[in-house]
Each structure stands twice: as C-alpha cells, then as structure tokens.
Amino acid sequence: MNVPRWSMSIRVASAGLLLLAAGSALADPFVLATGRRDPRIYAIDLKAALSPRNDNTSNAIASRSLTSPRHLDGRLLGDPANIVLSDDQRTAFVMNHHGAVDNAEFLQHGGRASVAVMNVRKMLDRRLDNSSAALEHVFDAGWFGGVGLVILPDLIIAGYSENWLSEDGSNRIGLIDRRTGGLVGQIEMALVGPGTRQLTSPCPSFPVPFVSPTPPPVVPFLSLDLAFGCWPDPEGLALGHGSDGKTYLVSGNGGTEDVSIIDLDKALAGGKVVEVAPRIPVQSGPGTRSRSSTSTAPVRDLPTPRPLASRSAPTMPTPGRDRSPCPGRPTAGASSSRISGPTTSRSWTSPWRWLTSRARRWRGSRSSGPMVSRHGRRGRQ
C-alpha cells in the first residue's frame, strides 16, 4: 500500500482563538467567530465592527452559519470550539467539540467530536443567514472532545482532549482524510516512561499503543479533580520546522500540563508512538500557536483541571542545559526553573508565555504559518 505524500507540502492554514480573519480574497476583511454554545459561526464585517456608530449593536454581523444540520424538530446542533481556514481561504474547517449535540440537553463532557467543512463565501452571504447552506460535509472526528486542528493539503489533524462521556482520559491525535472524511490513522501518546510525566498517583495502567482486548480506564468525570494529571489530553496543535528540514507536530497537553514534539513524517507513515523529545513542562493547560521566523513556540496558560492547592510550583525550560533524554530521542537541551504559581482560580484571559524550542538541540523548533489554537473546555470556562 502506497503512503500518501501528505508531508511533501505542509503548511498550517489560518486559525485563531475563537476569532479568525477571512478577508484576503474579499473586498473587505471579515472575522469568523465560533459561537460555541450557540452552534453557529458568526461572519462579522470588520470595518463595520470598528465603526463607532455601530457600537453596542449587531449591525456588523453579516451572517450566521450552522456547523451541523438542525435536529428533525428544528433545534440547533453543534459545539464549535475551533476554526481553521484552508490555504486558499475558500474552505473553513470547524471542530465541533462534542459533535452534533444540543447544548441544552448534553450537560457533560466526552461527546464524539465532528469536523464541519464549510464554504467561506457562503458563510459571508447575508442571504444565507441562520442556515446550513455553507455546510458542505460533516466528518466524524474519530474520538471525543475535539479541540485542536491543523489542515494539510490532503489531511486534517485533530486533537482530542477527552474520553467517552468524561472530561479526562485522552492520549489520541487523529489523522483524517480531507477528501472522504475517513479516519486513516491515530497518534497515541505515551502515558509513562522516559520524557513523560504524570501529575498525580496512582494512575491506571493502560497499554500504549492500545492492545485489544483492554477494558476502558477509570478517569475523572469532571474537573476540578485531584485525579487529573494521568493523561496528556492533547488540545492545541501547531506545526514547527526543524533545522534538519523536517516538519514536527507540536501538541499542548492540558492534562499533564506540558508540550509534546511529534515526528510528523513517522505519523504520516503509520507510526503511532512518535514523540521525539522529552515533554516540556509549562504552567498549566497549554494551548499552542504557530509563529513564523522564530525559534519560539508561544504557549498560552489556560485554567488547570486540577485544584491549584494540589499543584507544586510550575516549571519553565531553560535553554542550554541538559535534561534526561528519552531513549532513541534527541536531547531536549533544557532544565526547569521554578516560577511562582497562583493560589487562586485562574482567569480565562491568562497571558501567553513564550517557550524556547531550541532548534539546534532537539530539531523541533521553528514554526511557520499563522496560528493554530484551542478553545477551553466546559468545566473550565
């Protein structure tokens, strides 16, 4: 079987934290904003939004597009948590965190995620307001609690932050064929071993890669919970270009509060456990974002799923010092320095921190293209 040559031309499409500029091919710039609990994408005329005369009005909203077909009785379905554009900005990919759910009815975590594929021009058409006319396909995302999205020429990479009907318990990142919506592979992240960490104990034993038959693990149902910290729960995704010319996938892990560097070429060739460096600890609940022409990967602190009183002071990697390497993996070239952590709950708008990626040491450094980011989970908003 021939391996599709997805890795030959890899770039990340434009994406953002709830807001997405979509104006390069248009007369005027627009913003696309996910409604999240309101399962629609709002197309906002940016010039109109900045006009003082439209202050405190809805005049700048050009159109609203459904991210899933309506229920048979007319109810709105969907849970849009993230939005990314194709390189030509003609197609939008929307991650429905819990799939085609009624948010007034589904009152927990762990719904099966879906990816809506949408026509951008139709999303901006005022005549199509409050309809599903822009919706071209709805793909099963392949796991639960979808958040992160990266779009390749022939592939969708999807990060999953949850397990079935629970807020914790994911170590999966999915590879979805962009043309058919078929799940063609999954990355499985190690739970234990060199280069990994768990923030609590005891943690359930679980095989990675998965071996069937194995019963499902017992995981926390909802945060805040002291049992969080066993599973990585990958959320934000981005790409980085190494000094070796290779492209790496970067994952911000909300469960173990660290960042993973993943060999994308090996994943596209069918590899499952393909991290290439020790995980980089950060303060809490990281999202990731690409940034061009730099050796840093911005990482945003998001609210932790664990009670803060249970957490030790967070760590930040310091360039130029050694860490214990994973067997067969490049040395990360960092040690941890202590940073004082907050003792009260964290706000949703906590600051970005810049995480040095050390291109010449572990080859996962420089990222290109606009940002790819994540949206928070229900129990932590």
How many other C-beta atoms can be found within 10 angstroms of the C-beta atom of residue 220?
A: 24
Burial letters for 110-139: b for 16+ Cβ neighbours within 10 Å, e otherwise?
Answer: bbbbbbbbbbbebbbbeebeebbbbbeebb
pTM over 0.85: no
Per residue in 190-244, pLDDT (tens digit) is: 999 999 999 999 999 999 999 999 999 999 998 888 899 999 999 999 999 888 9
- Can you tell me whether residue 8 is helix, strand or coil? helix
Low-confidence winner among 51-55, 64-68, 183-187, 334-338 (lowest mean pLDDT): 334-338
Domains along the sequence of the chain with CATH: 6-380 (2.130.10)
Report which residue type is found at 23. G
Token look-up 């990482």 returns 299
Output the pLDDT for position 361.
35
Residue 23 has pLDDT above 70, yes or no: no
**3-state secondary structure at position 162:** strand
pLDDT band at 293 (very low <50, low <70, confident <90, very high): very low
Q: What is the mean pLDDT of the chain?
A: 77
Q: What is the per-residue pLDDT for 183? A: 98
Asked whether residue 122 carries a pLDDT value surpassing 80, the answer given is yes
Q: Give the pLDDT score at 313.
A: 42
Report percent pLDDT > 90 for the chain. Answer: 62
Residue in 298, 183, 364, 241 with CA at minimum distance from that of residue 173: 183
**Spatial distance between the Cα atoms of 103 and 367, rounded to a whole number of angstroms:** 35
Which residue bears the tokens 């234990």? 192
Q: Which of 20-29, 152-161, 273-282, 353-362 has the lowest mean pLDDT?
A: 353-362
Structure tokens at 270: 């069918």
Specify the pLDDT at position 304: 65
pLDDT band at 305 (very low <50, low <70, confident <90, very high): confident
- How far is residue 307's CA from residue 125's CA, in Å, rounded to a whole number? 45
User: Residue 151 in 3-state DSSP?
Assistant: strand
